[in-house]
A and B are shown apart, each in its own frame.
Chain A
Amino acid sequence: MSIAISGTARAARRPRNRSGLVRFTREQPLGAIALFLITLFVVVAVLAPWIAPYDPLAQDRVNLLTAPGVGGHLAGTDELGRDVLSRSLYGARTSLLIAVSTLALGGAIGLVIGVVSGYFGGTWIDSALQRVMDALMAIPSIVLLLFVAALLGPSVRNTVIALSLLVIPSINRVARGEMLRIREEPYVEAARSVGCGTPRILIRYGLPNLMAPLFVMGSLLFAVILIAESALSFLGIGTPPPTPSWGRMLSEGRSQLEIAPWMTVVPGLILSVSVLAFNLLGDAMRDFLDPKQRR
């Protein structure tokens, strides 16, 4: 699952003025809605224990597989009598945890590889690192995930490790491209001539410039991770039961699709809307940060 980031995004500059958010809302209404949804998603994820009407693991054995509204379960229950709404809300927590850890882990590794590779652009270090990245990208993601998950067994931690392999090459690509560009900038040359050490140059001048394209990429990757996590769980190699996760809920409910659609429609909808929001936000940020697209 590779993501195309239009080459023009590299011309991005972080808007410095305070009214950035207002301007963003005016120029990118869809993006603003997405941002609102994402905020909602994060709030729900963080506050799930206080918002959710029930314990997501509690089995209400009097109300098994009941339709929405019956027995005080707003979105119905699953086969074990667990509250679908509470599980969906907690699912946001699981997804957020996995996505954030994945982006942190994969992003950090990808960033280091990309920055180092870009700094040494054209040398053997660069080519060696990039060939490994290319090899990682050449294996279809599901196949790669199938391997890693089968190797390590399903757990939240291992899902994060498996998904990180997806993130690393994409982040690496953005970081490297940006490094190659700023390496030639006069102020970096100047810093070098003054005697600044390599790491210092990287941290001082490299990272700040990377932030904008990384934000765009991060938002799009977030969407990819949400889908990949649900695919992994759907295949039975992601988040293990009974942890509430959207992918697991989809796979648990698939055999009941006809008779208990609420089991899948609720988490499926929330998942799709979340992915949608991150995609829209990424899209909008790219447009927003790219001056060429403003007519």
Chain B
Amino acid sequence: MSHPMLRLTRSQARTAGAVLAATCLALTAACGTGGSAAGKGKIVEDAGPPQDGGILHTAATADAPSLDIQKEASYMTHVAVGTVYSRLAAPKTGKDITYGSSELEGDLAEKWSKSEDLKTWTFNLRQGVKFHDKPPVNGREFTSADVKCTVDRIKTLPGHQLGLVAGVTKVETPDPYTVVFTLGAANTAFDQTMANPFMAILPCEGTQGEFNLAEEAIGTGPFMLKSWKRDQERVMEKNPDYFIEGLPHLDGIQTTVLPDAQAQIAALRSGKLDMISSLSTEKRQVDQLLSQIDGLQLRTEKGITQTRVFMNAQKGPFSKLEVRRAVAHAIDKEGMIKALRSGGTLTGPISPTLFGALPQDEVDGLLEYDPEKAKKLLADAGYPDGFSAELVATDGYGETILREAQWVQEDLAKIGIKLTIDQQDYATYVSSTWPETKYDIMYGLQTPMLTADEYLTSEYTSTGTRNWSKVDDPELDKMVAAQRVITDEAQREKALQDIERYIMENVSTPLPLYAYDTQTLYSGKVHDYHPHPDYSSRELQDVWMEQE
């Protein structure tokens, strides 16, 4: 509201403001808000020019174990402080951008270039970017030195991000606004690497231990961390000096930790929450909420998290390829999606939205539900009458995974594989059973990755850091190594797809089933929410709320 109120005394202005507000309210009530009449759950696009102000209330099912975005691999941490930090480059988001698109835009870097041999990458940084005004950084200017500090720190920490920058042999800072990376081997997509959510640029004060990165977050992002009460709430406030003019629109974001889905739904109903995501995926629940809460918007996205059947390739009956392929054909995946998920897409080893994913019809064929074929494969493997085994699953991912495990149990029983379910707590599952391959067959999820190479290298090569099904196929190792240096996009895509076909037909573990859809429900007054699956939450800088 920018109404001219010239030459009024303060009390006059207050009265005038109140009258105006009342008029506005009456008007809105008379005309009805744009979105609520336009069909249940419909997302209101073009809700008008963004308005500034308001606090967005969201919920999380669990809190971040620590705020250290690089030391802590949990995506909970990335969701928690993603908006505090910036990266050199970031995936574009917006109304016209496909969900999960890998198209990049400059974040802290204005532009970047690569050398002919793809081994030298030069990033030109924005000038005049200020860190948040919090001690000990106190709003000083961001420079290339901070990039170097960050990359140097990453190289000393274990974990996923180390693999990402392993190829960097040298980081040079010829001037405060230029960073030059020298790589040991050619890399066509190093800009994608630097856009990974792990690559948040920290201030040197943080990397040098002047403050504790596990409990404090100071960056250059659209929001500043105001307070963090562990396992209770995280409060973000607008960064007034954000380097993108006019952003963010929100005055702040308040995230409450509410582990119970029913409690989240109750709070959405009572208007205490503006947005909830990845709740119970039950369609009827969502439909009921949509019909009861006026103007509630539903955003469904093709997810990238895959459900998997992990089978031990070295030990037990599943070490036989035919048995593993029988499993692939014995499970009614479409029925499972229809019964237990709000939607989903059958997938190969690389999630369907990523570069290099297999064409959908081919995936559907490779995973076709065909119990007869499965029985035959099982007989070929020497088990015409089936066998018994234990199926490991954890309740750590929620009730849905356990239901799916029971679905798998029933389907495999039909071809003669009699499974008993070994339900484990998340800690045992993730710290022992999975990485140490203490299972014959296991049902669960794979943490989403952002590039094809991440999936193939970590899960399917014999030396992969997540090769926890004991895959050992020299041919496959060679193929995966070879695709990494192909510079031509079309050729690389073909190579990646060949690998996937090979995996489905000759490895078949970890066996991907489908990537399930994710849902976000948000109030009718929230607009321009265009999420990206990278967990950085950067898209919240564009979100705005209708002011009353």
Asked if A240 contacts B282 (CB within 8 A), the reply is: no
Asked if A251 contacts B423 (CB within 8 A), the reply is: no
**B410 interfacial by beta-carbon distance below 8 Å:** yes
Which residues of chain A are near B406, meaning CB under 8 Å? 59, 80, 241-242
Enumerate A211-256 residues with CB–CB distance to B below 8 Å.
236-237, 240-242, 251-252, 254-256
Which residues of chain A are near B261, meaning CB under 8 Å? 255
**A61 interfacial by beta-carbon distance below 8 Å:** yes
Which residues of chain B are near A81, meaning CB under 8 Å? 339
**A115 interfacial by beta-carbon distance below 8 Å:** no
25 contacts between A and B (CB under 8 A): A59-B410, A65-B284, A79-B339, A79-B340, A80-B407, A80-B410, A81-B339, A150-B425, A150-B427, A153-B422, A153-B423, A153-B424, A236-B425, A237-B425, A241-B421, A242-B421, A255-B262, A255-B280, A255-B399, A256-B280, A256-B282, A258-B285, A259-B285, A259-B288, A260-B284
Q: Which of these, B265, B339, B340, B395, contacts A258 with CB under 8 Å?
A: B265
Kindly state the separation between the CA atoms of A61 and B424 in the bound complex, as whole angstroms: 27
Asked if B421 contacts A240 (CB within 8 A), the reply is: yes
Enumerate B281-318 residues with CB–CB distance to A below 8 Å.
282, 284-285, 288
Report the interface size class on chain A.
Answer: 20 to 34
* A252 and B399 contact, Cβ closer than 8 Å, known pairs A61-B339, A80-B339, A241-B405: yes
User: What are the 10 A-B residue pairs with the smallest beta carbon separation, nearest first?
Assistant: A236-B395, A255-B280, A259-B284, A240-B423, A64-B339, A242-B406, A154-B423, A59-B410, A259-B285, A255-B261
Which of B265, B422, B423 has the most A CB atoms < 10 Å from its CB?
Answer: B423
Kindly state the separation between the CA atoms of A254 and B424 in the bound complex, as whole angstroms: 20
* A255 and B423 contact, Cβ closer than 8 Å, known pairs A59-B410, A241-B405: no
- Residue on B with the closest CB to A255? B280
- Residue on B with the closest CB to A253? B399
Kindly state the separation between the CA atoms of A260 and B399 in the bound complex, as whole angstroms: 15
- Residue on B with the closest CB to A64? B339
Would you give the 0/1 interface string for A63-95, flagging 1 where the beta carbon is closer than 8 Å to chain B?
Answer: 011000000000000011100000000000000
- Apart from A153-B423, A241-B406, list 19 A-B contacts with CB within 8 A: A59-B406, A64-B339, A79-B339, A79-B340, A80-B339, A81-B339, A153-B428, A154-B423, A240-B421, A240-B423, A241-B405, A241-B421, A241-B423, A242-B421, A255-B282, A255-B285, A256-B280, A258-B285, A259-B284
**A1 interfacial by beta-carbon distance below 8 Å:** no
Asked if A79 contacts B403 (CB within 8 A), the reply is: yes
Asked if A256 contacts B339 (CB within 8 A), the reply is: no
**B402 interfacial by beta-carbon distance below 8 Å:** yes
- Residue on A with the closest CB to B281? A255
Kindly state the separation between the CA atoms of A259 and B262 in the bound complex, as whole angstroms: 12
Which residues of chain A are near B427, meaning CB under 8 Å? 150
**A51 interfacial by beta-carbon distance below 8 Å:** no
**B159 interfacial by beta-carbon distance below 8 Å:** no
Asked if A258 contacts B288 (CB within 8 A), the reply is: yes
**A40 interfacial by beta-carbon distance below 8 Å:** no
Which residues of chain B are near A57, meaning CB under 8 Å? 410
**A42 interfacial by beta-carbon distance below 8 Å:** no
- Residue on B with the closest CB to A260? B284
Kindly state the separation between the CA atoms of A39 and B100 in the bound complex, as whole angstroms: 60
Asked if A259 contacts B282 (CB within 8 A), the reply is: yes
Which residues of chain A are near B282, meaning CB under 8 Å? 79, 255-256, 259
Asked if B339 contacts A251 (CB within 8 A), the reply is: no
Q: Chain A nearest CB: distance from B543 CB in Å? A: 27
Asked if B402 contacts A241 (CB within 8 A), the reply is: yes
Which residues of chain A are near B424, meaning CB under 8 Å? 153
- Residue on B with the closest CB to A153? B424
Kindly state the separation between the CA atoms of A28 and B402 in the bound complex, as whole angstroms: 45
**A196 interfacial by beta-carbon distance below 8 Å:** no
Enumerate A77-126 residues with CB–CB distance to B below 8 Å.
79-81
Asked if B409 contacts A242 (CB within 8 A), the reply is: yes
Asked if B262 contacts A254 (CB within 8 A), the reply is: yes
**A269 interfacial by beta-carbon distance below 8 Å:** no
**A128 interfacial by beta-carbon distance below 8 Å:** no
Asked if A251 contacts B399 (CB within 8 A), the reply is: yes
**B39 interfacial by beta-carbon distance below 8 Å:** no
Which residues of chain B are near A47, meaning CB under 8 Å? none
Kindly state the separation between the CA atoms of A65 and B281 in the bound complex, as whole angstroms: 14
Would you give the 0/1 interface string for B366-409, flagging 1 where the beta carbon is closer than 8 Å to chain A?
Answer: 00000000000000000000000000000100010011011101
Which residues of chain A are near B399, meaning CB under 8 Å? 251-252, 255
* A236 and B339 contact, Cβ closer than 8 Å, known pairs A255-B280, A258-B285, A259-B284: no
Q: Chain B nearest CB: distance from A240 CB in Å? A: 4
Asked if B262 contacts A240 (CB within 8 A), the reply is: no
**A132 interfacial by beta-carbon distance below 8 Å:** no
Which residues of chain A are near B428, meaning CB under 8 Å? 150, 153
Which residues of chain B are near A150, meaning CB under 8 Å? 425, 427-428
- Residue on B with the closest CB to A236? B395
Kindly state the separation between the CA atoms of A256 and B425 in the bound complex, as whole angstroms: 22
Kindly state the separation between the CA atoms of A150 and B262 in the bound complex, as whole angstroms: 25
Kindly state the separation between the CA atoms of A209 and B519 in the bound complex, as whole angstroms: 64
Which residues of chain B are near A237, meaning CB under 8 Å? 425
Enumerate B44-65 residues with CB–CB distance to A below 8 Å.
none
Enumerate B392-450 residues with CB–CB distance to A below 8 Å.
395, 399, 402-403, 405-407, 409-410, 421-425, 427-428
Q: Chain A nearest CB: distance from B182 CB in Å? A: 49
Would you give the 0/1 interface string for A143-169, flagging 1 where the beta carbon is closer than 8 Å to chain B?
Answer: 000000010011000000000000000
Kindly state the separation between the CA atoms of A154 and B402 in the bound complex, as whole angstroms: 13
- Residue on A with the closest CB to B407? A80
Kindly state the separation between the CA atoms of A242 and B395 in the bound complex, as whole angstroms: 13
Kindly state the separation between the CA atoms of A240 and B391 in the bound complex, as whole angstroms: 12
